[in-house]
Structure 1
């Protein structure tokens, strides 16, 4: 190797280390804060388990950088379990490897129905590059779209491309629609409102609860549900914001709710803080239909091995799909409770061929 080649190699390695350090920074902060909150609730990490997490991260996952999430999972669970996937390992290693260069596709809300070809998405119309488009793909007008929306519904939701975690979502009634400046909103989809099942309304009053179903489709195999969770809101919320919502893990085999929910800061609760509804002993209605829908849709897009589907159940027990995540589906509130969810997939080996992991 020439001196110039060596310099270039060392420069790339140094740049990669800086990128990884920046990527991990928010993860480390979240873990540190989470461990403090868990400790205040009596869930602490022993020195022995801390050492196990560090050793597993180094020897199995390729870097001690992945130990923090393993430590938090262990503190929550009360024991260390092999097979857990740390959140930063998922983002740094797994998702780039299994979903590749098309990872951002799910963020194009205006393309979801065209790609998935499902009536479960409540799309009503699109606004793309200054043009109104019907769901059939025909040119339209603001007045026609207004009629499509409000001849049927009291209000609708505008979702911008690249919106996520509740950001970039706007609720519009007829007056709001008439005065809204659509020309500065970018590309977006307008979706019909979903009126949720009474059980979900009990847990998420006012904001439609999100049933997250995470499916995995290994090469040459059918997609399978691996992880499920329910994201619910607080009183006064019109829609779910990830940073403020409550997470209830779900047993992926049968749709039973985990007896405890967790807030974004890792406060553990047995009942909804506003409604008093208990989580234990409850199951998601139409759960198997929802799983079947997501698995079937995943089989239509084998370009991705990992997809997070955001669905809900309406008042008639019908499954409604709100969006899909092909980038980096969240796992941290389910892995320590109902997980590990991804054992047997060989993901712990992916780091050995990763180009974005400094070793």
Structure 2
């Protein structure tokens, strides 16, 4: 009885902290957006408050609606606030199955796909191939660099571009790599020339978000291109640029956004103008993530990070099955999920 009461108290505290952190993040974003665009129309703030209370049952879901309104310059019914998504939608439609994306070594067990550039896994003191054959430690370096001069090592739970490390045969020290923790070694991807024109040095990322319905049909819900800066080794949340995509054609939109959600029309380092360029082999990208999602239907929405390589092949860098980012898609392309009835999940 005491333990149950204590758990309830802890849960309430954690819930309050969760929503408080989201409010702070949304408020910070709003200030940055308004620094460029000016104050958000008070009408949109009022509509956001009313909509959050009437549709989601609590006005505390309104801060992200303010952000979406500020970015889009309008208010749209059907938007899903990010804190509502995390606390209501994710538990209802994913449960613990979405968390499997944190365990990189299970990737091939789940998907058994060559679209992932996995070379080896390191888990609990063991190195294995992508097919789970144990590799003796003294042979790991030889195995990793047999087909590529460079590998990428990602630790489990490597969020926001953190926990990503690059190694060549010359600087690979197995004990130092193992000290980083459990993770995955992937072959370094050489991106398609199209993306090198925008920015070279770091591999761009195409983020596609898919949803699988009760009939097993997978639909693409949002898409955008993530770009690094010339000083980056890889795309990082602290410095990245994002450009929405037309999810039917793969066309890059005219307006992109920096980390402050300030609008830009070209890459600030290369001066590449975004307007109307088309992602190569975009249909192949959609088909790839659609087929993969059918292999992991228990996580009903998945955010896929992928790229087209120099051989025009699709490569999936990672999948995000838990609380994947829906904020950017909702603000720039949404509402992306208005037909799914998510606004009613809290009532259940």
TM-score computed with the length of structure 2 as normaliser: 0.94
Distance in 2, matches of 1:47 and 1:185, equals 48
| Deviation, structure 1 residue 295 | 0.7
| Contact 1:259–1:270 (CA under 8 A) maintained in structure 2 | yes
- 1:342 matched to 2:337? The reply is yes
| Deviation, structure 1 residue 46 | 1.5
The residue that corresponds to 1:325 in the other structure is 320
Q: Deviations over 1:84-107 (max 9, x none)?
A: 111111111111110012221011
Distance change >3 Å, CA 72–CA 306, structure 1 → 2? same
The residue that corresponds to 2:152 in the other structure is 157
| Contact 2:82–2:326 (CA under 8 A) maintained in structure 1 | yes
| Contact 1:43–1:76 (CA under 8 A) maintained in structure 2 | no
- 1:134 matched to 2:137? The reply is no
List aligned pairs for 1:297-308, cutoff 5 A: 297-308=292-303
Distance change >3 Å, CA 11–CA 330, structure 1 → 2? closer
| Deviation, structure 1 residue 11 | 8.9
Match of 1:56 among 51, 58, 62: 51
The residue that corresponds to 2:179 in the other structure is 184
Question: Deviating runs (4+, > 4 A) in structure 1?
Answer: 8-11, 14-17
List aligned pairs for 1:194-213, cutoff 5 A: 194-213=189-208
| Deviation, structure 1 residue 17 | 4.4
The residue that corresponds to 1:249 in the other structure is 244
List aligned pairs for 1:219-238, cutoff 5 A: 219-238=214-233
| Contact 1:161–1:187 (CA under 8 A) maintained in structure 2 | yes
3-state SS, counterpart of residue 318 of structure 2: strand
5+ residue gaps, structure 2, are: none
Distance in 2, matches of 1:158 and 1:47, equals 47
Distance change >3 Å, CA 9–CA 134, structure 1 → 2? closer
| Contact 1:35–1:44 (CA under 8 A) maintained in structure 2 | no
The residue that corresponds to 1:357 in the other structure is none
3-state SS, counterpart of residue 311 of structure 1: strand
| Deviation, structure 1 residue 21 | 2.4
| Contact 2:299–2:322 (CA under 8 A) maintained in structure 1 | no
| Deviation, structure 1 residue 204 | 3.2
Distance in 1, matches of 2:134 and 2:161, equals 28
| Deviation, structure 1 residue 32 | 1.8
Distance change >3 Å, CA 352–CA 277, structure 1 → 2? same
The residue that corresponds to 1:278 in the other structure is 273
The residue that corresponds to 1:86 in the other structure is 81
CA RMSD of aligned residues (A): 2.0
| Contact 1:33–1:265 (CA under 8 A) maintained in structure 2 | no
The residue that corresponds to 1:172 in the other structure is 167
Match of 2:115 among 109, 113, 120: 120
| Contact 2:141–2:174 (CA under 8 A) maintained in structure 1 | no
Distance change >3 Å, CA 300–CA 278, structure 1 → 2? same
| Deviation, structure 1 residue 338 | 1.4
Distance in 2, matches of 1:86 and 1:257, equals 25
Distance in 2, matches of 1:138 and 1:193, equals 21
Equivalenced residues, count: 347
The residue that corresponds to 2:97 in the other structure is 102
| Contact 1:43–1:75 (CA under 8 A) maintained in structure 2 | no
The residue that corresponds to 1:316 in the other structure is 311
Distance in 1, matches of 2:231 and 2:24, equals 29
Distance in 1, matches of 2:301 and 2:143, equals 34
